[in-house]
Structure 1
Amino acid sequence: MSNVPVARPRIVCLCGSLRFSEEFAAERTRLTLDLAIVLAPEATEASVLDSSLVQALGELHLRRIDLADEVRIVNPGGYIGEATRREIAYGTASGKRITYLHEPAMTDT
Protein backbone atom coordinates (compact mmCIF):
# COMPACT_ATOMS: atom_id res chain seq x y z
CA MET A 1 0.00 0.00 0.00
CA SER A 2 1.28 3.43 -0.91
CA ASN A 3 1.95 6.22 1.58
CA VAL A 4 1.02 8.81 -1.04
CA PRO A 5 -2.16 10.55 0.12
CA VAL A 6 -4.84 10.84 -2.52
CA ALA A 7 -7.79 13.03 -1.61
CA ARG A 8 -10.73 13.11 -3.99
CA PRO A 9 -9.05 12.35 -7.32
CA ARG A 10 -10.06 14.09 -10.51
CA ILE A 11 -12.17 11.91 -12.82
CA VAL A 12 -11.40 12.29 -16.51
CA CYS A 13 -13.42 10.80 -19.36
CA LEU A 14 -11.52 10.27 -22.60
CA CYS A 15 -13.44 10.88 -25.82
CA GLY A 16 -12.43 10.60 -29.44
CA SER A 17 -12.14 8.15 -32.29
CA LEU A 18 -11.08 4.68 -31.16
CA ARG A 19 -8.83 4.49 -34.23
CA PHE A 20 -6.38 6.49 -32.07
CA SER A 21 -5.77 3.58 -29.70
CA GLU A 22 -2.11 4.46 -29.10
CA GLU A 23 -2.99 8.04 -28.16
CA PHE A 24 -5.79 6.82 -25.88
CA ALA A 25 -3.35 4.47 -24.14
CA ALA A 26 -0.77 7.24 -23.72
CA GLU A 27 -3.35 9.65 -22.25
CA ARG A 28 -4.71 6.93 -19.95
CA THR A 29 -1.19 6.29 -18.64
CA ARG A 30 -0.31 9.99 -18.31
CA LEU A 31 -3.51 10.80 -16.43
CA THR A 32 -3.23 7.75 -14.17
CA LEU A 33 0.31 8.78 -13.21
CA ASP A 34 -1.15 12.23 -12.50
CA LEU A 35 -3.40 10.38 -9.97
CA ALA A 36 -6.62 10.82 -11.94
CA ILE A 37 -9.34 8.22 -12.38
CA VAL A 38 -9.67 7.61 -16.12
CA LEU A 39 -12.89 6.53 -17.83
CA ALA A 40 -12.74 5.59 -21.50
CA PRO A 41 -14.60 3.59 -24.10
CA GLU A 42 -13.31 0.13 -24.88
CA ALA A 43 -12.64 -0.99 -28.42
CA THR A 44 -14.62 -4.09 -29.32
CA GLU A 45 -13.38 -7.01 -31.37
CA ALA A 46 -16.60 -7.20 -33.39
CA SER A 47 -16.15 -5.79 -36.88
CA VAL A 48 -19.85 -5.07 -37.43
CA LEU A 49 -21.99 -4.08 -34.48
CA ASP A 50 -25.77 -4.06 -34.52
CA SER A 51 -27.03 -0.46 -34.85
CA SER A 52 -29.01 -0.70 -31.60
CA LEU A 53 -25.86 -1.86 -29.80
CA VAL A 54 -23.87 1.03 -31.30
CA GLN A 55 -26.54 3.44 -30.01
CA ALA A 56 -26.50 1.80 -26.55
CA LEU A 57 -22.70 2.04 -26.39
CA GLY A 58 -22.94 5.73 -27.27
CA GLU A 59 -25.40 6.28 -24.43
CA LEU A 60 -23.16 4.31 -22.08
CA HIS A 61 -20.32 6.67 -22.93
CA LEU A 62 -22.51 9.67 -22.04
CA ARG A 63 -22.96 8.10 -18.59
CA ARG A 64 -19.15 8.07 -18.27
CA ILE A 65 -19.22 11.79 -19.03
CA ASP A 66 -21.86 12.21 -16.29
CA LEU A 67 -19.39 10.73 -13.79
CA ALA A 68 -16.43 12.84 -14.93
CA ASP A 69 -15.07 16.17 -13.76
CA GLU A 70 -13.29 16.69 -17.08
CA VAL A 71 -13.81 15.51 -20.64
CA ARG A 72 -10.47 15.02 -22.42
CA ILE A 73 -10.70 14.93 -26.20
CA VAL A 74 -8.12 12.64 -27.82
CA ASN A 75 -7.85 14.26 -31.24
CA PRO A 76 -4.48 13.78 -32.96
CA GLY A 77 -4.02 16.38 -35.66
CA GLY A 78 -7.15 18.13 -34.42
CA TYR A 79 -9.54 15.48 -35.79
CA ILE A 80 -13.01 15.55 -34.24
CA GLY A 81 -15.67 13.26 -35.71
CA GLU A 82 -19.45 13.40 -35.42
CA ALA A 83 -19.74 11.19 -32.32
CA THR A 84 -17.03 13.18 -30.54
CA ARG A 85 -18.80 16.44 -31.41
CA ARG A 86 -21.92 15.01 -29.75
CA GLU A 87 -19.88 14.12 -26.64
CA ILE A 88 -18.33 17.60 -26.51
CA ALA A 89 -21.79 19.18 -26.76
CA TYR A 90 -23.11 16.87 -24.03
CA GLY A 91 -20.17 17.59 -21.73
CA THR A 92 -20.45 21.33 -22.33
CA ALA A 93 -24.19 21.29 -21.62
CA SER A 94 -23.47 19.33 -18.44
CA GLY A 95 -20.97 21.95 -17.26
CA LYS A 96 -17.93 19.68 -17.63
CA ARG A 97 -14.46 21.05 -18.25
CA ILE A 98 -13.48 20.18 -21.84
CA THR A 99 -9.78 19.79 -22.68
CA TYR A 100 -8.05 18.67 -25.87
CA LEU A 101 -4.96 16.69 -26.76
CA HIS A 102 -4.63 19.12 -29.71
CA GLU A 103 -6.56 22.37 -29.74
CA PRO A 104 -9.16 22.29 -32.52
CA ALA A 105 -9.49 25.01 -35.13
CA MET A 106 -12.20 27.53 -34.22
CA THR A 107 -14.50 26.03 -36.88
CA ASP A 108 -14.14 22.50 -35.41
CA THR A 109 -16.33 22.99 -32.32
Structure 2
Amino acid sequence: MDIAKIITICGSLKFIDAIQRQAERLEFEGNCVLSITYPTKAKDAYTEDELQLLGTLHKQKIALSDAIYVVNVDGYIGESTQSEIEYARAIGKEVLFLVDDY
Protein backbone atom coordinates (compact mmCIF):
# COMPACT_ATOMS: atom_id res chain seq x y z
CA MET A 1 0.00 0.00 0.00
CA ASP A 2 1.32 3.41 -0.94
CA ILE A 3 1.18 6.25 1.55
CA ALA A 4 -1.37 8.84 0.48
CA LYS A 5 0.19 11.79 2.35
CA ILE A 6 2.41 12.59 5.29
CA ILE A 7 0.25 14.67 7.60
CA THR A 8 1.18 16.45 10.83
CA ILE A 9 -1.75 16.68 13.18
CA CYS A 10 -2.20 19.99 15.04
CA GLY A 11 -4.60 21.23 17.69
CA SER A 12 -5.09 22.12 21.31
CA LEU A 13 -4.12 19.42 23.79
CA LYS A 14 -7.45 20.02 25.53
CA PHE A 15 -8.87 18.00 22.62
CA ILE A 16 -6.43 15.10 23.03
CA ASP A 17 -9.14 12.44 22.57
CA ALA A 18 -10.34 14.02 19.32
CA ILE A 19 -6.74 14.39 18.12
CA GLN A 20 -6.07 10.71 18.75
CA ARG A 21 -9.30 9.67 16.98
CA GLN A 22 -8.52 11.82 13.95
CA ALA A 23 -4.91 10.58 13.79
CA GLU A 24 -6.14 6.99 13.77
CA ARG A 25 -8.76 7.76 11.10
CA LEU A 26 -6.20 9.47 8.90
CA GLU A 27 -3.84 6.51 9.20
CA PHE A 28 -6.60 4.03 8.31
CA GLU A 29 -7.12 6.16 5.19
CA GLY A 30 -3.51 5.36 4.22
CA ASN A 31 -1.74 8.47 5.48
CA CYS A 32 1.41 8.61 7.60
CA VAL A 33 0.53 10.79 10.59
CA LEU A 34 3.11 12.73 12.58
CA SER A 35 1.56 13.55 15.91
CA ILE A 36 1.87 15.94 18.80
CA THR A 37 4.19 15.00 21.65
CA TYR A 38 1.77 14.36 24.49
CA PRO A 39 2.92 15.87 27.81
CA THR A 40 3.66 13.63 30.75
CA LYS A 41 3.42 16.40 33.33
CA ALA A 42 1.72 19.75 33.88
CA LYS A 43 2.67 22.53 31.45
CA ASP A 44 4.15 24.66 34.24
CA ALA A 45 6.50 21.77 35.15
CA TYR A 46 8.38 22.24 31.86
CA THR A 47 11.10 24.83 31.42
CA GLU A 48 10.70 27.53 28.80
CA ASP A 49 13.54 25.90 26.84
CA GLU A 50 11.74 22.54 26.86
CA LEU A 51 8.49 24.11 25.65
CA GLN A 52 10.34 26.01 22.94
CA LEU A 53 12.10 22.80 21.83
CA LEU A 54 8.78 20.96 21.54
CA GLY A 55 7.38 23.80 19.44
CA THR A 56 10.43 23.85 17.18
CA LEU A 57 10.31 20.07 16.69
CA HIS A 58 6.60 20.18 15.88
CA LYS A 59 7.30 22.76 13.17
CA GLN A 60 10.01 20.46 11.80
CA LYS A 61 7.33 17.76 11.54
CA ILE A 62 5.23 20.23 9.55
CA ALA A 63 8.18 20.90 7.23
CA LEU A 64 8.49 17.15 6.57
CA SER A 65 4.78 16.80 5.82
CA ASP A 66 2.65 17.20 2.74
CA ALA A 67 -0.13 18.74 4.85
CA ILE A 68 -1.31 19.55 8.34
CA TYR A 69 -4.64 18.49 9.78
CA VAL A 70 -6.05 20.91 12.34
CA VAL A 71 -8.31 19.34 14.95
CA ASN A 72 -10.32 22.49 15.67
CA VAL A 73 -13.19 21.14 17.76
CA ASP A 74 -16.12 23.59 17.64
CA GLY A 75 -13.91 25.82 15.47
CA TYR A 76 -11.45 26.48 18.33
CA ILE A 77 -7.90 27.42 17.31
CA GLY A 78 -5.46 28.49 20.01
CA GLU A 79 -2.38 30.67 19.68
CA SER A 80 0.10 27.80 19.14
CA THR A 81 -2.11 26.12 16.57
CA GLN A 82 -2.60 29.44 14.77
CA SER A 83 1.17 29.84 14.52
CA GLU A 84 1.43 26.30 13.10
CA ILE A 85 -1.22 27.11 10.48
CA GLU A 86 0.63 30.28 9.50
CA TYR A 87 3.94 28.40 9.30
CA ALA A 88 2.43 25.63 7.18
CA ARG A 89 0.90 28.13 4.76
CA ALA A 90 4.15 30.13 4.58
CA ILE A 91 6.07 27.05 3.42
CA GLY A 92 3.37 25.92 1.00
CA LYS A 93 1.79 23.04 2.90
CA GLU A 94 -1.84 22.02 2.49
CA VAL A 95 -3.96 22.91 5.52
CA LEU A 96 -6.93 20.68 6.33
CA PHE A 97 -9.46 21.27 9.12
CA LEU A 98 -11.79 19.07 11.18
CA VAL A 99 -14.31 21.94 11.27
CA ASP A 100 -14.15 23.53 7.85
CA ASP A 101 -15.42 27.01 8.70
CA TYR A 102 -12.04 28.60 9.31
Please report the TM-score for the alignment, with normalisation by the length of structure 2: 0.92
Q: Percent identity?
A: 33
User: Which amino acid counterpart does residue 35 of structure 1 have in structure 2?
Assistant: G
Rg (Cα) greater in structure? 1
Summarize deviations over 1:10-67 as a string: whole Å, max 9, x none.
1010001111111111111101110100001121112121111101100000000011
The Cα RMSD (Å) is 1.1
> Unaligned regions of 5+ residues in structure 1, if any?
1-5
Question: Is contact 2:7-2:32 (8 Å) kept?
Answer: yes
Distance in 1, matches of 2:3 and 2:98, equals: 24
1:37 paired to 2:50: no
Q: List 4+ stretches of structure 1 deviating above 4 A.
A: none
Please report the TM-score for the alignment, with normalisation by the length of structure 1: 0.87
User: Which amino acid counterpart does residue 66 of structure 1 have in structure 2?
Assistant: A
Question: Which of 81, 85, 99 is matched with 1:84 structurally?
Answer: 81
Q: Could you tell me which residue of structure 2 aligns to residue 99 of structure 1?
A: 96
Question: Is contact 1:79-1:104 (8 Å) kept?
Answer: no
> Unaligned regions of 5+ residues in structure 2, if any?
none
